Amino acid sequence: MTSTTNNIDFLALDGELDLDELDAVMSGGREKGQYKQDLLGFIESGKMAVPYKFQGKKAASVKTGFESAVDSIEKDAEIDDATKAAAKELYVKVKKVGDGEDAQELVFLVRQDIVRERKGLATA
């Protein structure tokens, strides 16, 4: 959940790019499987909710990317059942902050199972 791709920190780029940096810049969009990797990291963290940092995409596209990642995790035979169950509990919240041209869209990842647990509610 950073501004890096293939260990390249885009925010720190300065001066002439090397070939690895150029490849990362030129590759359109997120690397294949990046949302899946980020979702698995979020699940592993055990956190209830986190903001998801992104740039250069619409929040709705990010949300769709995570929804596809859930499907991918569910179909992956190498992922354990507990992780699959946690992925199904993902809620991606898009929140608009501000008005007009200054408005920003933010994305939050929420584990509904942990929310219910912390609120003392029965699991679904």
| Choice among 6-20, 61-75, 92-106, 109-123 with the minimum mean pLDDT | 6-20
Nearest CA to 49 among 115, 116, 120, 121? 115
> Rounded to whole angstroms, how far apart are CA atoms 39 and 81?
15
* pTM, two decimal places: 0.72
Same-domain pairing of 45 and 14: no
How many domains does the structure of the chain reveal? Answer: 2
For residue 102, the SS3 value is helix
**Residue 63 included in any domain:** yes
Q: Hey, which residues does 51 pair with through a beta bridge? A: 108
| pLDDT band for position 33 (cuts 50, 70, 90) | confident
The pLDDT, as a whole number, for residue 15 is 81
**Residue 1 included in any domain:** yes
> Rounded to whole angstroms, how far apart are CA atoms 92 and 111?
9
Q: What are phi and psi of 38, to 5 degrees?
A: -65, -40
| pLDDT band for position 67 (cuts 50, 70, 90) | very high
| Choice among 4-8, 54-58, 82-86 with the minimum mean pLDDT | 4-8
Same-domain pairing of 38 and 95: yes
Same-domain pairing of 9 and 64: no
Same-domain pairing of 44 and 100: yes
Same-domain pairing of 21 and 8: yes
